[in-house]
Amino acid sequence: MTIAAIIPAAGQGVRMGTQIPKQFLALSGKPILQHTLDVFQRCAAVDEIIVVVPANEMEAVRDFATSASKVKQVVAGGEQRQDSVRHGFEALDADTEIVVVHDGVRPFVTPEMIEASIHAAREEGAAIAAIPLSDTVKKVDKEQFVERTVDRDGLWRVQTPQTFRYAVLKEAYARAAADAYYGTDEGTLIEHLGRPLKVIPGSELNIKITRAEDLILGEKIAELLARG
Ligand SMILES: Nc1ccn([C@@H]2O[C@H](COP(=O)(O)OP(=O)(O)OP(=O)(O)O)[C@@H](O)[C@H]2O)c(=O)n1
Ligand SMILES: C[C@](O)(CO)[C@H](O)COP(=O)(O)O
């Protein structure tokens, strides 16, 4: 049975503030999205990839994304990330076994991390990559005064990949639609459904390119990884 990856890359990159959406910016000589697709292409466990992009970029993306032979479809995104991933999900065959969701702007995911998430999703139904917080955490008010310090014990920063048995994610979408429920990631939909959600180790290198400084950091990570 098929293991499919959905790569949401249909955001506008408002926090990056560049003219072209950040997923198309060059990192170490090629588009950030291309780096991400290359990792999924290399990951032996993944059979096919659905790429979700802004409607007006579909032709341009088809030109470069289909150089990765596992890319089965390029589909148009939606208003929010959750809509975009759902559009990708709707493009999958119903006999898909496992669905891996990974942000197009997290180019430093590894095949090993993807494989670990697939394994956990097979076992538990749903799994997300995350790392424990290592800074002191404070609740801050709108005027930027500290309200209190939050106990960080048991608090983790969530990343992608987020990986699911197809049937579990389908049920999560149905529940979210019925309740008009939105979350910032797919894991939240599993919580809303009331099903178990396993956490697997993410990586400090698996950054999301969100702001300008992440691009600088990304170049350094790419350099470091190229040195081996
Ligand atoms: N409607 C959306 C919004 C986001 N994404 C994708 O979800 C991933 C993570 O989102 P984020 O970093 O928040 O990207 P943007 O929404 O582009 O950023 P911003 O919030 O700064 O506009 C990115 O690969 C982004 O392209 C998407 O496919 N569709
Ligand atoms: C899914 C995600 O990458 C987990 O960290 C993240 O929530 C998506 O980005 P956003 O900045 O919350 O839109």
For the chain, the maximum distance between any two Cα atoms, rounded to a whole number of angstroms, is 53
pLDDT of residue 56: 94
CA distance 154 to 128: 15
CA distance 54 to 96: 25
pLDDT of residue 68: 85
Give burial (CB, 10 Å; 0-12/13-18/19+) of 5. buried
Q: If you take atom 1 of ligand 1, which residue's CA is the nearest one? A: 80
- Ligand number with the minimum distance to the CA of 81: 1
pLDDT of residue 63: 85
pLDDT of residue 228: 80
CA–centroid distance, 148 to ligand 1, in Å, is: 30
Q: Is the ipTM of this complex over 0.95?
A: yes
Domain range annotation of the chain: 3-227
Atom of ligand 2 nearest to the CA of 81: 13
**pTM (predicted TM-score):** 0.97
The strand pairing partners of 150, in sequence order, are 137
pLDDT digits (tens, 9 = 90+) for 51-103: 999 999 999 888 888 788 999 999 999 999 999 999 999 999 999 999 999 99
Residue 137 CB partners (closer than 8 Å, separation 6+): 149, 150, 152, 155
What letter does residue 52 receive in the DSSP assignment? Answer: E
CA–centroid distance, 44 to ligand 1, in Å, is: 26
- Terminal C-alpha separation, the chain: 34
Pocket of ligand 2, beta carbon within 6 A: 81, 103, 158-160, 184-185, 208
Q: If you take atom 12 of ligand 1, which residue's CA is the nearest one? A: 210
Q: For helices 81-90 and 166-179, give the axis angle rounded to 10 degrees.
A: 130
pLDDT digits (tens, 9 = 90+) for 158-169: 999 999 999 999
- Ligand number with the minimum distance to the CA of 158: 2
| Residue 161: cis peptide before it, omega within 30 degrees of 0 | yes
Q: Which residue among 19, 103, 185 is best mutated to probe the pocket of ligand 1, counting the most ligand atoms within 8 A of its Cβ? A: 103
Kind and range of the H or E element at 116? helix 111-124
* Residue 57 · residue 75 · CB < 8 Å: no
Residue ranges in the chain whose pLDDT is less than 70: none
Q: Please state whether beta strands 146-150 and 137-140 pair in parallel, antiparallel, or not at all (unpaired).
A: antiparallel
Atom of ligand 2 nearest to the CA of 210: 11
Atom of ligand 1 nearest to the CA of 78: 1
- Ligand number with the minimum distance to the CA of 128: 2
In the CATH scheme, what architecture does the domain 3-227 have?
Alpha-Beta Complex (3.90)
